[in-house]
Structure 1
Amino acid sequence: MSSNKNALIRYKTLDKCLKNKYRKYTLEDLIDECSEALFEFEGKESYVSKRTIQLDLQNMRSEKFGYEAPIEVYERKYYRYSDPDYSIHNISVNESDLKAMNNAIQILKQFKDFSMFKEMNGVIQKLEDSIHATNQKSIIHLDKNEQLKGLEHIDILYESIVNKKVLKILYKSFTARESSVYTVHPQLLKEFNNRWFLICLYKQKMYNLALDRMENIKADESLSYIDKDLDGDEYFKDIVGVTVAESMLPRNVVFFVDSANAPYVKTKPLHKSQEIINETKDGTLFKICVQINFELERLLLGFGDTLIVHKPQKLKLRMEEKFRMGHKNYQDLSILKEGAIQDQ
């Protein structure tokens, strides 16, 4: 169990004890109560130290979490709230807090029709009712597309990851002639460039399957789930996009962006490893350290003639070939079938 969740359980337990008017609690009693509460949640012995409870009481008294609890020691050994009506669950919310919560609700409401968040509708409504939220229009608009193909699969995939279930997925890639059944151990869901992917274990290797290519999904109860315990931040740290090659080491990619477009790359780095090597009046030389994959190539190509790859040589040559073929396509319009395009 995470330390944050442990702390919340202790605070809740301490609050219950301190507002109890019919029993006297010593510090040792509070330690025992918190240890017992954690045991109920974790199902195993979990002794809480004296120092931990003393720090918890100190935090509850302070402004650190907004509690400012009126905890007092009486008869030199017993703990209670000096205000018998106080509880950490009865904390008042000021106007500034209400505005912040209302803004957060407006953002959450943008997801209310999204399949994965349908069950949040009731929660959002309760929040609106409890803080008297206004019906103001949201001034923060998130990029989303509820009509994306494959979104209907998110619920079952999400639940399968949470409940650790093996899945049989009928899948047809863009290059395949026929659909195939993949028996996979789902690990993570990943969104990139407005498309969703399932990161899964298939035949002892990690794969990413696009949700929009999935035709049918069902659980396979006959197989034991293999949990790779993936951390998304760690798993994707060396890439742009979703394609991770387990055997590939990240490479230094050096590229030049002209002066008109360099500010866009500075303020929105292509990867967290991005560094500036050199700047001139003509532009900026950048470096990132990533695996070279399809998504990186597409990203670099998207800058068109404003970006030039310098290293590694293999990527540079591949980019040159892409632009050469693109130029050829524009020069040789005969490759388009007659009538495919019309002058506008």
Structure 2
Amino acid sequence: MPTNKQATIRYHALDDCFANPGRRFDINALIEACNQAIEEHTGRADGVKRRQVYSDITFMESDAGWSIPLERYKDGRRTFFRYTDPSFSIRGRGVNQAEVEQIAATLAILARYQGLPQFEWLEEIQVRIQDAFNTNASADPVVSFQYNPHLHGLRYFQPLFNAITRKQALAITYQSFQEAAPTEFTFHAWHLKQFNNRWFALGQKQGTLGLTTLALDRIQTLDSVEEEYQPNTSIDFADYFDDIIGVSFLQDATLTTIQLKAAADLWPYINSKPIHPSQKVLDRHPSGEVSFQLKLFPNYELTAVLLSFGPRIEVLVPESLRNHVAKLYQQGYHLYQ
């Protein structure tokens, strides 16, 4: 039984009833106590059902719960509930087995962030929790996440995060893959974005218009600077990336309908893992091939994704993208001649 917020409220309400020697509680009184407790804590009267309360009692009596010493006794046709030991309470008895399992599952999720700047505390917390609750730290992991702890530039994650939250301008030395030498400029960071196992900082380079995207692994130095911070007043990052793949917008790019054709053996993969949320089927061919379309802004990341499928996907339209992909294949072909 999952221990959610309402379940915890019900358990505590039942615990108070069972330990109360001044009043007798039958099932109707227990239901009323649970409903009152939920309304007091949440402001909502959700109407706890009889079956739910019986289920809660069974859980509290089990080894997965607190093994409560509950007595049932009759008075006429009514059954009442109370602790055989009035001093017993689930409060202060530590976590139960179900909660330990939830903690273990949470640790597996949190482990994804180990090694990432600003999350160094996770390793210490994880060790302490595993030791306190015996969550079997030596067991083989059952969940794995894609993460590259050796990625260059991760040390700049925390300073950038702090600069965004504290609204501080930064002096950055940066060298892109296309530049022969590094450049220095003032940068106003607005947002951090992860894509393809790399981190990017988006913001405004002082003296320029529009958005600048910096890869953290191309930053050489980063320091705070005593200049007025230029806040983000024009971009909603909650939906900014909806019409692209990745992080980059090409200059003069327009929202484009792209039609593609996938091989029969590739389509199940693309169907279960769409290239983009705008993906829409156009035609299913007798050969098993499927034509479909995307609607987005073409960029480098889109081209890389299309090339990753090799000859099992074909660009139909627009012609400019079809020719661009064909040219890249020709260049690659000549390398192996």
What TM-score, normalized by structure 2, do the two folds share?
0.69
**Which piece of structure 1 moves more, 95-104 or 188-197?**
95-104
C-alpha deviations, 1:252-280, integer Å up to 9, x for none? 11101101111111111111111111122
Alignment partner of 1:128 is 2:130: yes
Give the C-alpha shift of residue 110 in structure 1.
4.1
Give the C-alpha shift of residue 225 in structure 1.
3.2
Structure 1 residue runs of 4+, over 4 Å off? 59-64, 89-94
State the match for 2:114 in structure 1. Answer: 112
User: SS of the counterpart of 2:146?
Assistant: coil
Whole-angstrom CA distance in 2 between matches of 1:262 and 1:176: 39
Is the contact made by 2:200 and 2:214 (CA closer than 8 Å) also made in structure 1?
A: yes
Is the contact made by 1:165 and 1:220 (CA closer than 8 Å) also made in structure 2?
A: yes
User: SS of the counterpart of 2:118?
Assistant: helix
Is the contact made by 1:201 and 1:207 (CA closer than 8 Å) also made in structure 2?
A: yes
Alignment partner of 1:182 is 2:193: no
Alignment partner of 1:243 is 2:209: no
Q: CA RMSD in A?
A: 3.6
- Which of 169, 172, 177 is residue 175 of structure 2 equivalent to? 172
Is the contact made by 2:188 and 2:229 (CA closer than 8 Å) also made in structure 1?
A: no
Is the contact made by 2:169 and 2:228 (CA closer than 8 Å) also made in structure 1?
A: yes
**Number of residues paired by the alignment?**
269
Whole-angstrom CA distance in 2 between matches of 1:301 and 1:91: 58
Alignment partner of 1:306 is 2:292: no
Q: Could you tell me which amino acid in structure 2 is paired with residue 196 of structure 1?
A: W
Q: How does 1:262-341 map to 2 (within 5 A)?
A: 262-280=267-285, 281-331=287-337
Q: How does 1:88-237 map to 2 (within 5 A)?
A: 95-129=97-131, 131-135=133-137, 136-202=139-205, 203-228=208-233, 230-237=235-242
Whole-angstrom CA distance in 2 between matches of 1:211 and 1:229: 23
Whole-angstrom CA distance in 1 between matches of 2:251 and 2:327: 27
1:225/1:130 CA distance change after superposition, 3 Å? farther
Q: Could you tell me which amino acid in structure 2 is paired with residue 96 of structure 1?
A: A
Is the contact made by 2:111 and 2:122 (CA closer than 8 Å) also made in structure 1?
A: no
Is the contact made by 1:106 and 1:137 (CA closer than 8 Å) also made in structure 2?
A: no
Structure with higher Rg: it is 2
Give the C-alpha shift of residue 91 in structure 1.
11
Give the C-alpha shift of residue 60 in structure 1.
8.8
Is the contact made by 1:161 and 1:186 (CA closer than 8 Å) also made in structure 2?
A: yes
1:59/1:214 CA distance change after superposition, 3 Å? farther
Give the C-alpha shift of residue 132 in structure 1.
3.6
User: SS of the counterpart of 1:266?
Assistant: helix
1:224/1:194 CA distance change after superposition, 3 Å? closer
C-alpha deviations, 1:126-162, integer Å up to 9, x for none? 5435544221222111111111111111111111111
1:130/1:244 CA distance change after superposition, 3 Å? farther
Is the contact made by 1:239 and 1:291 (CA closer than 8 Å) also made in structure 2?
A: yes
Is the contact made by 1:164 and 1:227 (CA closer than 8 Å) also made in structure 2?
A: no
Matched residues, percent identical? Answer: 24
Whole-angstrom CA distance in 1 between matches of 2:326 and 2:263: 17
Give the C-alpha shift of residue 54 in structure 1.
7.6
What TM-score, normalized by structure 1, do the two folds share?
0.68
State the match for 1:56 in structure 2. Answer: 42
Q: Could you tell me which amino acid in structure 2 is paired with residue 161 of structure 1?
A: I
Give the C-alpha shift of residue 321 in structure 1.
1.2
Whole-angstrom CA distance in 2 between matches of 1:110 and 1:259: 35
Q: Could you tell me which amino acid in structure 2 is paired with residue 329 of structure 1?
A: L
Structure 2 runs not aligned, ≥5 long: 1-8, 10-38, 57-86
Whole-angstrom CA distance in 2 between matches of 1:182 and 1:192: 24
Is the contact made by 2:190 and 2:231 (CA closer than 8 Å) also made in structure 1?
A: no
User: SS of the counterpart of 1:103?
Assistant: helix
Whole-angstrom CA distance in 1 between matches of 2:296 and 2:99: 41
User: SS of the counterpart of 2:239?
Assistant: helix
Is the contact made by 1:111 and 1:117 (CA closer than 8 Å) also made in structure 2?
A: yes
1:311/1:59 CA distance change after superposition, 3 Å? farther
Q: Could you tell me which amino acid in structure 1 is paired with residue 43 of structure 2?
A: L
